[in-house]
Structure 1
Amino acid sequence: MDWKPYAASLAADVAYPGSDWWEPVRETPRHVLVERWFAPGGGGWQAVDGPADPEAWAGAAYANRTLVTQVGAMHADRAAPEQVVTGHPTSSSTEPGLVVSMLRHGRLTPGLRLLDLATGSGYSAALACHRLGDDRLVTTLDVDPYLTRAAAERLDRIGRHPVVVTADGTGELPGTFDRIVSMVSVPRIPSTWLTALAPGGRLVTTITGTGLIITADKTEDGGARGRVEWDRAAFMATRTGAAYPPPLNELFVSTAEDDGETSVSPFPVLDVMQAWEVWSMLTLLAPGIEHRTGTGPGGSRMTWMLHADGSWARATTRPGDRTATVHQGGPRRLYDLLDEVRWRWIEEGELPVYGAEVTVTPEGETTLTRGGWAAVL
């Protein structure tokens, strides 16, 4: 495959000539790192074998899009061609533009020691090796032994040799680093990151269940200070096993016909996860909410909110209506929280999550503040 023109096109899409990341993207053969992946199809995720169709392989590998490489415990490398699997993605090769954005937030310069959290396909580690100028300065870590083994072998094929570690990214980290850039989300900043961060070091991560990117520089007391960046990103959450806990299907089924407490919302149904500010703010108020959307009788729009504590909400907006009929139950009124967020959004013109100041204690307690608003992760 003549991959160079494809990589040059990708570099033009996610960087610009002369920038820090132009050469790394243009000179990294992403297709070698992602030989097989899953695409939606057949009622689930259908395995795609890149080498079987080099033209389609190049088109996918050098597009600025995420390629899902693992669903549940099944990696695409182990799936038969066109095999369909069901479940939730557990690893991917993130869209290159987002990888570059996260690395750019890390302010990487040659000579710095980087911890690249969530090895995945190895693409972020490959870019970082090119940028830092010495592969030994890059340590890449993932909890999944197959991912680290496969990435190490493929990185070797393209002449990149970072330190590859299999470990829990929220546990003790293997060394001291000037930069920690996480391509996996965390519910709060682990204290072990602060321990492993060199004086004056910088960390970059996203917060689970939100679109918030946090950047913070280590302070003299062993904590860190920074901000929530104005751009947005969402990554898979950290995990300790082969797959994520199962979704709240039993709660969904058991409350499908439950009237619960009925009310009318002044707002139509919203696809919360497409409204990044609202989604992020709501998660900070009630971490762990699971969202679902669908279509009801007569083409009505429906949304569900579920929580592991047993709280649930179901809302419907009929065609032509501007309000929603809401049913909810359990220990918390999840839809009331959503409406409170939406009222604030309307009254103030924005929500305070993006641009918030971030303070992290040495123990990892993370506080976001902006104006008179504050939230502790």
Structure 2
Amino acid sequence: MRDPEELRWALVGRLAGGGFLRTPSWREAVAAVPRHEFLRGGFFEQVAGSAPTAWRPVMPEDDRWLERCYADDSLVTQIAGTVVPGDLRGEIMRAPTSSSTMPGLVVRMLEDLLVEDGHHVLEIGTGTGYSTALMCHRLGDDLVTSVEVDGDVSGRAGASLGACGYMPELVVGDGLAGHKDRAPYDRVIATCGVLTVPGTWIDQTSPGGIVLATVCGWLYSSELARLTVHGDGTASGRFLGGQISFMLARPHLPPPLGLLPDLMDGEERPAVLGPDELAMDWTARFVAQLAAPHAQQISMTNDGRTERVFIDVGSGAWATLWRVGEHWMVRQGGPARIWDEVEERVGRWRADGAPDVERFEIRVTPDEQVITWPSR
């Protein structure tokens, strides 16, 4: 078995070589913090070729465990809200609910947070505690507050942090509410995705401070936003690019679809935009989410053909699309025309030259979140 310190330095070299690790202070933190200590409970690996996806545990006694801990990979640590690797002998086919984020993304975000000595940081989503430990090493325990919604996850993270000599302020609660008892903060960083940046994070950040968060949607395109907080209670900034993806904050997960409406009872027309174009273009899908922020997508078979269904459970609006030769047809129903709105927004973005997401701007006020791009 290879030496953990050797593996840590090898990870430092890979992250620095990939451009993720850019400053000496964070380089020192990655070299010092043993990631494997935050994975002592094991992790899940995907079973190759399984459909639906199956997961099996990898425990510390496995010969592959230690080196996998220092790979630049995200490692699933909880499934179905409660199941951890030590609970299982065999395989499980449920959705992951907690993970140790890939180190390259962790340090890229910490670099993008623009932390300086003396800054007080609020972390939303403690997870295994690895990123929390990196911040403790960089800033000191007293300047790090981390909120985790799952008490068991927080407890395991606290034990791992303590074993490594770190004692930050750990809070069990709804991360969307922040933690006002230790506000104001100079920096807020979220390791979960959100549909909209919560106003509480803005309120709890000092003017001139930074909020770093991944803005997502139920069509599963997401982007990392860095916002500067202003003295009037608003915040604004830009997206940093990179197609970053996180599990959604639990209160922002999509609702169950329930009983579908009658998808034959609607208005039918040729589609200008096909759903395959969204599947192939991450930014186009991100723009589509701005038009239909509460739409979910499913596939179903109808009369022997595969249809793509977009449905907003809350409003009851829906659109279903199917291919006819080289073209697509769309049928829509409910109180709004989802696909009309998607086509209009994506068409406007393309007419403006399809700017990269790094040129998009985001502004958050007490009343709304607005995302725009430069027009021609």
Secondary structure of the equivalent of 1:179?
Answer: strand
Residue 153 of structure 1: how far off its partner (Å): 0.6
Residue 117 of structure 1: how far off its partner (Å): 0.8
- Displacement over 6 Å in runs of 4+: 294-298
Report which stretch shifted further, 329-338 or 150-159.
329-338
CA distance in 1, matches of 2:78, 2:35: 17
Report which stretch shifted further, 322-331 or 90-99.
322-331
CA distance in 1, matches of 2:100, 2:115: 21
Deviation string 1:202-236 (CA, Å, 9 cap, x unpaired) is 11112231422221222222332322224432222
Partner residue in 2 for 1:234: 245
Question: Do the aligned residues in 2 keep the contact of 1:142 with 1:165 (CA within 8 Å)?
Answer: yes
2:103 aligned with 1:92, yes or no?
no
| Residue in structure 2 matching 1:159, options 135, 143, 165 | 165
Unaligned runs of 5+ in 1: none
Question: Do the aligned residues in 2 keep the contact of 1:117 with 1:184 (CA within 8 Å)?
Answer: yes
Structure 1 residues 347 and 76, CA gap change in structure 2 (3 angstroms): same
Question: Do the aligned residues in 1 keep the contact of 2:193 with 2:213 (CA within 8 Å)?
Answer: yes
CA distance in 1, matches of 2:369, 2:130: 29
Report which stretch shifted further, 14-23 or 180-189.
14-23
Count of paired positions = 361
Secondary structure of the equivalent of 1:109?
Answer: coil
CA distance in 2, matches of 1:4, 1:293: 47
CA distance in 2, matches of 1:82, 1:231: 35
2:276 aligned with 1:270, yes or no?
yes
Structure 1 residues 147 and 219, CA gap change in structure 2 (3 angstroms): same
CA distance in 2, matches of 1:97, 1:295: 40
Structure 1 residues 347 and 109, CA gap change in structure 2 (3 angstroms): same
Structure 1 residues 344 and 367, CA gap change in structure 2 (3 angstroms): closer
Secondary structure of the equivalent of 1:222?
Answer: coil
Residue 275 of structure 1: how far off its partner (Å): 2.5
Secondary structure of the equivalent of 2:347?
Answer: helix
| Residue in structure 2 matching 1:53, options 62, 73, 79 | 62
Question: Do the aligned residues in 2 keep the contact of 1:194 with 1:364 (CA within 8 Å)?
Answer: no
Question: Do the aligned residues in 2 keep the contact of 1:271 with 1:303 (CA within 8 Å)?
Answer: no
CA distance in 1, matches of 2:279, 2:127: 24
Question: Do the aligned residues in 1 keep the contact of 2:214 with 2:244 (CA within 8 Å)?
Answer: yes
Residue 168 of structure 1: how far off its partner (Å): 1.0
Question: Do the aligned residues in 1 keep the contact of 2:223 with 2:244 (CA within 8 Å)?
Answer: yes
| Residue in structure 2 matching 1:202, options 210, 214, 222 | 210
| Residue in structure 1 matching 2:32, options 27, 35, 46 | 27
Secondary structure of the equivalent of 1:201?
Answer: strand
Instruction: Look up the equivalent residue of 1:311 and give its one-letter code.
Output: A
Structure 1 residues 279 and 268, CA gap change in structure 2 (3 angstroms): closer
CA distance in 2, matches of 1:76, 1:271: 38
CA distance in 2, matches of 1:120, 1:302: 37
Query: Identical aligned pairs, as a percentage?
Result: 31
CA distance in 1, matches of 2:302, 2:12: 44
| Residue in structure 2 matching 1:368, options 368, 371, 376 | 371
CA distance in 1, matches of 2:124, 2:222: 18
Question: Do the aligned residues in 2 keep the contact of 1:269 with 1:317 (CA within 8 Å)?
Answer: no
CA distance in 1, matches of 2:78, 2:280: 24
| Residue in structure 2 matching 1:138, options 135, 144, 150 | 144
Residue 330 of structure 1: how far off its partner (Å): 2.4
Unaligned runs of 5+ in 2: none
Structure 1 residues 305 and 40, CA gap change in structure 2 (3 angstroms): farther
2:76 aligned with 1:71, yes or no?
no
Secondary structure of the equivalent of 1:183?
Answer: strand
Report which stretch shifted further, 344-353 or 94-103.
344-353
Give the aligned CA root-mean-square deviation in angstroms: 3.0
Residue 264 of structure 1: how far off its partner (Å): 2.4
Structure 1 residues 198 and 343, CA gap change in structure 2 (3 angstroms): closer
| Residue in structure 1 matching 2:127, options 106, 120, 128 | 120
Residue 337 of structure 1: how far off its partner (Å): 2.9
* TM-score (normalised: structure 2): 0.84
Partner residue in 2 for 1:36: 42
Structure 1 residues 38 and 18, CA gap change in structure 2 (3 angstroms): closer
Secondary structure of the equivalent of 2:250?
Answer: coil
Question: Do the aligned residues in 2 keep the contact of 1:171 with 1:192 (CA within 8 Å)?
Answer: yes
